[in-house]
């Protein structure tokens, strides 16, 4: 793998409009700390910085909220740590860019970039080599309304200051977070919806990204990639959203992909997503 130098640049956005190509770059925080991450220099003129990857470590019954579930809880279904590991809100980093589709990844860019305006998500099959992320992705979509400027310029500020993840605190009827429409660079809203179970699709609208959903049991999911949820009926958002609190009252819904295998692993029926989606890594970028 080739790593490129950027002479102290702080994000891939600093390279937008120049002759840089997509790849892994050495970037620097405002404090001068160097780190490595991937820059997409093709989509909409480029300048997208990879900040995180989320995948399900093990959605089978014996793998929920165990080691590898960094975006929910590695400590089990524990009432004493109902906020989970807190990685949506804290300054911890983990993983590395080369392994971002086989293990969770959180870059310094997740919280050190504070002037991001939009996010982009690539849905890529687990264990895809970095060089094939773009070609193997089956969905790529991004917000375009500069929503992050209202939430501190990154997701860490959004979750810490505006939409914290705390189980048992928020009202499912009134405390769900905002959703933002997405533009597709590969795939479509209909493609997105097709990977969810037949019993889930009725309360989803594809073509959006939503933050912090609160279900009927006051459990929290952090992000709903590719969809927004209908908040007028029964709130079973764990069947469509990822990441979040570390205590669910039932081990069955704990984990990074929460209740996406509620009616069997990868069945694509009733409340379970299909195998393509359950074995997906979500790559999150800023620009």
Rounded to the nearest 10°, the torsion over CA 251, 224, 175, 158 is 110
| For residues 240-266, average pLDDT | 87
Chain centroid, CA 255 distance in Å: 13
Mean predicted lDDT score pLDDT of the chain? 92
Using one digit for the tens of pLDDT, what is the confidence trace for 46-61? Answer: 999 999 999 997 877 6
Backbone angles phi, psi at 174, to 5 degrees: -135, -10
In this predicted structure, what is the pLDDT of residue 9?
A: 83
Q: Where are the beta strands (DSSP E) in 64-188?
A: 105-106, 119-125, 139-143, 179-186
196 SS3 class: coil
Write the pLDDT tens digit of every residue in 194-234: 999 999 999 999 999 999 999 988 999 999 999 999 977 66
**Which of the two residues, 4 and 15, has the higher pLDDT score?**
15
Please state the domain count of the chain: 1
Residue pointed to by tokens 């609160």: 214
pLDDT of amino acid 246:
86
The residue ranges of DSSP E strands in the chain, in sequence order, are: 3-5, 23-28, 34-40, 48-55, 105-106, 119-125, 139-143, 179-186, 204-206, 208-214, 220-224, 227-229, 242-244, 280-286
Q: Reduced to 3 states, what is the DSSP secondary structure of residue 49?
A: strand
C-alpha span between 285 and 287 (Å, rounded): 7
Q: Are 131 and 125 in contact (CB under 8 A)?
A: no
The residue ranges of DSSP E strands in 215-256, in sequence order, are 220-224, 227-229, 242-244
Tokens read off for 218 = 């006051």
CA distance 110 to 118: 13
Q: What's the chain's length in residues?
A: 287
Task: Look up the domain containing 114 and give its range.
Answer: 3-286
**Measured between alpha carbons, how far is 138 from 125 in angstroms, rounded to an integer?**
8
| pLDDT tens digits, one per residue of 160-197 | 999 999 988 999 889 999 999 999 999 999 999 999 99
Q: Name residue, tokens 């979500």.
A: 282
Taken in order 150, 152, 156, 162, the sign of the CA dihedral is negative
């Amino acid at each position: 793998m080739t790593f490129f130098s950027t002479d102290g640049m702080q994000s891939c956005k600093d390279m937008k409009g120049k002759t840089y190509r997509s790849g892994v770059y050495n970037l620097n925080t405002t404090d001068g700390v160097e780190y490595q991450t991937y820059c997409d220099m093709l989509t909409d003129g480029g300048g997208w910085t990879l900040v995180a990857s989320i995948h399900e470590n093990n959605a089978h019954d014996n793998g929920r909220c165990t080691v590898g579930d960094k975006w929910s809880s590695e400590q089990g279904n524990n009432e004493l740590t109902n906020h989970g590991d807190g990685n949506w809100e804290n300054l911890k980093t983990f993983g590395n860019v080369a392994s971002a589709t086989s293990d969770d990844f959180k870059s310094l860019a997740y919280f050190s970039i504070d002037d991001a305006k939009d996010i982009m998500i690539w849905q890529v099959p687990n264990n895809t080599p970095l060089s094939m992320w773009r070609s193997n992705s089956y969905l790529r979509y991004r917000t375009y309304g500069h929503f992050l400027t209202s939430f501190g310029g990154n997701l860490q500020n959004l979750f810490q200051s505006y939409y914290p993840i705390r189980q048992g605190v928020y009202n499912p009827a009134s405390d769900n977070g905002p959703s933002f429409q997405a533009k597709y660079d590969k795939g479509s809203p209909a493609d997105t919806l097709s990977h969810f179970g037949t019993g889930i699709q009725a309360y989803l609208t594809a073509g959006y990204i939503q933050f912090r959903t609160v279900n009927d049991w006051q459990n929290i999911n952090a992000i709903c990639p590719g969809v927004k949820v209908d908040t007028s009926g029964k709130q079973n958002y764990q069947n469509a959203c990822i990441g979040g609190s570390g205590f669910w009252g039932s081990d069955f819904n704990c984990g990074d992909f929460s209740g996406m295998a509620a009616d069997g692993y990868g069945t694509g029926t009733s409340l379970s997503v299909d195998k393509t989606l359950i074995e997906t890594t979500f790559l999150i970028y800023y620009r």
